[in-house]
A and B are shown apart, each in its own frame.
Chain A
């Protein structure tokens, strides 16, 4: 174990895969063993995460990756197995591990139809491998492989365990994302060939990219943009999201919201901006513009919903708008806010999807017009919903605030070369977005939790929270509060690495 440092990241990535394979050999009937294996695997992976948190050198300069492993992989195409983390990937990696534990815990008595825990848990573990891999990969081909690995389990999760319209939703999710991926891989190739880099390592490409003509850089950035923006998703490439979320089983929605969307924003910060900083400056006004359109548009979409889960799904469009606004400023404030916003959105929206799942389990509907009086029927769940609503609308003191306010703040003063007037306008629009966010969230809360229960449920006994729900939710709730009060826990991790990203832009 003396060299655990060397294999820590690889363990974090492939341990879930081992767990998934292990699950395969367990007999189908033995559900207890399956759950246990899945839980232990995610816990062990989380253990690696804790090890990483403990051993990570927070004071180290942001330009060095830590826990780096660099081995030959596919020599023919100059791609190497390079993994490593910095202050931007670490929180997201740990978030991914953390959410997977909670999702498995929640699954204990919440397997969606058609049941089959074995396959379901295996898919979760497979997803974890893909997600963790994406956050540690430092070689673009490796990144691409992991990025795509994520697609398939999610496709099946939606397509098999999803709601009534699962076929359409899963195919749409798969193809839409694949479309982005196709452009993304092309851009990767263009980066490699046009720049004449030695390998597909991100560090190499960042150095060679200056050899590429400016116009080409812009185009390549466009390709990357499509790949990542669809994943985020940014307006107007978001239409796969409401369908996927609404149809996905609760666990799928949670993972989708908490982690998968972050692959897109992470791609911007990790790949697009550092490799093509000049193009990023040129693109920034457009990205910022789409971001604020997304903020308003997502909020309006929410207001038009009649289904609780679809409403939460649309709120992601708005929230990720704040994250993208932060990124588009290309400043340290903005990108720190963006990473914070990514984590906060993961915790909060993940929590909201958990709640939606549990409400659906109890009421067998998510139609807002049929819900009501949750605070009477299941007061604990009702108050937790209230807490999450407040967190989601960016109440200071809860995690959501630190993704939102600093993003607004940073828009006042974007990086050099980016139009100040334009971003100040964006700032005001984003601030208006916070009002709309309060509007749809409170409206949703009023419809679901306040008032008396509707006729059909007034006499039906509705159980309040049960232990798997406590186990899965309490950690999230505590984190939302702790990060909200003491944001330095996260800013302290990210800032050095963010500084490095920003320095590429020259800000």
Chain B
């Protein structure tokens, strides 16, 4: 399966077309095709996971500066043979590029800051590469292919599993929807986009998957496009991420040339780490890609589209937030880590743009989660904040922790979103204050699973979020980014607190709505239960008692070349974060459950009032973007440009026309009629003039314009003659 992983996105792609063209005629409106396709891809992904795990870790890759590399393209992973450097052309190029510059490489620096003893070089599983020529652009042969390593396999598993559960959930949740078939077609295509991104071996293919998701998010967020606010949200999502894509286009172009005219990711990473790129190009490339990540992964300050994206159906939200779309940005950084590692000098510690963007996002978004009354918006800001965690982790050099958090977060965030969907299925609303409360009695399964998701998100031992969050904090602390460790702790504190509020408002207290809430059917609760199981146990995969299995399986050549270090579990650090979370939970309990929330603070305290207002207005960013930037571009600036077009540019054209007409008129009146003919035909002038005017309007213009134009041409000829002798 590893060599043929391209089949996985191909299946969902075919599914999209089948649903699109035949879905309406099928008994279940095409949803059966979507579910079947996802079952198939999930099974294949599982096979891929097993094959990957089974693959012998027999390839030695030296950190930059060392001398041996081998790209094993084993056909039978179980066979365990090692074919030395039998990879594709680009692969070899990549490695040789990495090796050639060995003496000049800055591998030593890494060691100084990191583990002083240097690295024990453990063998890793060789990535599987396959490619074929896609097209030729001038002298360049552009390939398309797959690059399957632990990271890709992990993502395949997560994406197909979450998407499958979302599909199952949606068969019930979306029942009776006006565009049921269309919805499932778009889900298939959406999944395709993410899978394409995941298996890509080139930046160009990644761009395809990336934009395909942009398209699908547009379709799905705007699913109920009859209402303007929904289509507005869809446009906002598309345009905001597209703004980030400026960075992607520039970044891909920069890296393409900097790495010696190639889109191949392995080559780019190797060139970046091996010193084969100019420092400027590397910095520009990394910065540009960071802009793309900020857009796609909803980082501050381009995060504003994500909460609005809640306008889409809930299953879509779950998919967007957990396994696709927003994690694409994180995946991009993880995939092109060599570029970021070197471009931002991550090994140096202290601070760098990625860590700062991530850190700011963690806190800024978590604060906003406190003032939301819409359960999906709480979760949306929570996603923003958690994505901030991942980006920050990548920024502090905790690559494995970031990927691991991406992995665990997918489960509990999908769980929470689908749980909120289940709740809204019962109460027909997302408003926690008005329509919810006390639901734990009515919806026991939803309640239990939602609680598991919440504690997992809050990072309570031993749930999934605890382990991944712990690794991030540890990584930040040990890699010389202490400040970001504290940011992470603050984030953890706030996460636990706002989730307490959310859980309280939804499930505890008295029911405040007017309907008769009931537990959801199986198609909804079963996905919740499955996700709950993962939300409990997914974190153990990289726990000390399983020997940090996840980290071992996902380690890839970029990581080894960069010399990433892994820090074993530390009980002290874990205790600190646990205490922080418990205090937050306790505080939340006191504030919300015991209703000790001091009322009227905002009335009494000016500072609190200002703070609340800022949060309530989402830092005024929406106003800045929508009213000022978009408003002025679409309004004043566009109008001004058009005014120039009509009045200045076109004005010149028309003035030339009118001028020519006047000139003609004058020549005709004064010279022809006045001087030449005037004396003779004095009496006829009046009639002649009137007729002449009419004729000018009808046909005379052409001749007169023509005369003028050829006049201009003659001038040009003179100029030419004079200058060119």
A471 CB, nearest partner CB in chain B, Å: 19
B630 CB, nearest partner CB in chain A, Å: 8
Considering residues A223, A236, A450, which has the most beta carbons from chain B within 10 angstroms of its beta carbon?
A450
> Known contacts A239-B645, A300-B641: does B139 contact A435 (CB below 8 Å)?
no
Interface of B: prevailing SS: helix
- Give the distance in Å from the alpha carbon of A261 to the alpha carbon of B440 in the complex: 66
A405 CB, nearest partner CB in chain B, Å: 7
Contact present for A408 and B207 (CB under 8 Å):
no
Q: B135 is contacted by which of A182, A390, A488 (Cβ under 8 Å)?
A: A488
Q: Of the 9-residue stretches A2-10, A17-25, A120-128, A490-498, which lies at the interface with chain B?
A: A490-498
**Per-residue interface assignment for chain A, residues 461 to 494, with 1 indicating a CB less than 8 Å from any chain B CB and 0 otherwise:** 0000000000000000000000000111001100
Residues in A with CB closer than 8 Å to B28 are: none
A51 interfacial contact with B, CB 8 Å: no
Q: Of the 9-residue stretches A108-116, A171-179, A263-271, which lies at the interface with chain B?
A: A171-179
> Known contacts A239-B645, A434-B249: does B713 contact A216 (CB below 8 Å)?
no
Contact present for B243 and A435 (CB under 8 Å):
yes
Residues in A with CB closer than 8 Å to B252 are: 409
> Known contacts A304-B638, A431-B249: does B137 contact A450 (CB below 8 Å)?
no
Which residue of A has the minimal Cβ distance to B704? A175
Contact present for B225 and A438 (CB under 8 Å):
no
Contact present for A174 and B702 (CB under 8 Å):
yes
B642 CB, nearest partner CB in chain A, Å: 4
Contact present for B257 and A413 (CB under 8 Å):
yes
**Per-residue interface assignment for chain B, residues 702 to 723, with 1 indicating a CB less than 8 Å from any chain A CB and 0 otherwise:** 1001100110110011011001
- Give the distance in Å from the alpha carbon of A220 to the alpha carbon of B723 in the complex: 11
> Known contacts A301-B642, A395-B215, A438-B242: does B137 contact A406 (CB below 8 Å)?
yes
Q: B634 is contacted by which of A174, A303, A333, A488 (Cβ under 8 Å)?
A: A303
B207 CB, nearest partner CB in chain A, Å: 6
B226 CB, nearest partner CB in chain A, Å: 6
Q: Of the 9-residue stretches B75-83, B89-97, B649-657, which lies at the interface with chain A?
A: B649-657
Contact present for A216 and B633 (CB under 8 Å):
no
A385 interfacial contact with B, CB 8 Å: no
Q: Of the 9-residue stretches B231-239, B474-482, B526-534, B561-569, which lies at the interface with chain A?
A: B231-239
A139 interfacial contact with B, CB 8 Å: no
Give chain A interface residues in 330-372, CB to chain B under 8 Å.
331-333, 336-337
**Per-residue interface assignment for chain A, residues 221 to 258, with 1 indicating a CB less than 8 Å from any chain B CB and 0 otherwise:** 00100000000000010111000000000000000000
Which residue of A has the minimal Cβ distance to B648? A236
B102 CB, nearest partner CB in chain A, Å: 27
A73 interfacial contact with B, CB 8 Å: no
Q: A451 is contacted by which of B135, B225, B256, B642 (Cβ under 8 Å)?
A: B225
Contact present for B137 and A432 (CB under 8 Å):
no
Which residue of B has the minimal Cβ distance to A406? B137
> Known contacts A175-B705, A175-B709, A301-B642: does B239 contact A495 (CB below 8 Å)?
no
- Give the distance in Å from the alpha carbon of A434 to the alpha carbon of B242 in the complex: 8
A227 CB, nearest partner CB in chain B, Å: 10
Contact present for A487 and B135 (CB under 8 Å):
yes
A428 interfacial contact with B, CB 8 Å: yes
Residues in B with CB closer than 8 Å to A436 are: 633
14 pairs, A vs B, C-beta closer than 8 Å: A174-B702, A182-B712, A183-B712, A215-B723, A219-B724, A220-B720, A239-B649, A300-B637, A395-B215, A409-B253, A409-B256, A451-B225, A487-B134, A498-B138
Question: 10 closest Cβ contacts across the A-B interface?
Answer: A332-B138, A488-B135, A304-B642, A303-B638, A300-B641, A216-B724, A182-B713, A304-B638, A450-B225, A179-B709
Q: Which residues of B contact A (CB under 8 A)?
A: 133-140, 207-208, 211-212, 214-215, 218, 222, 225-228, 231-232, 235, 238-239, 242-243, 245-246, 249-250, 252-254, 256-257, 630, 633-634, 637-639, 641-642, 645, 649-650, 653, 657, 701-702, 705-706, 709-710, 712-713, 716-717, 719-720, 723-724
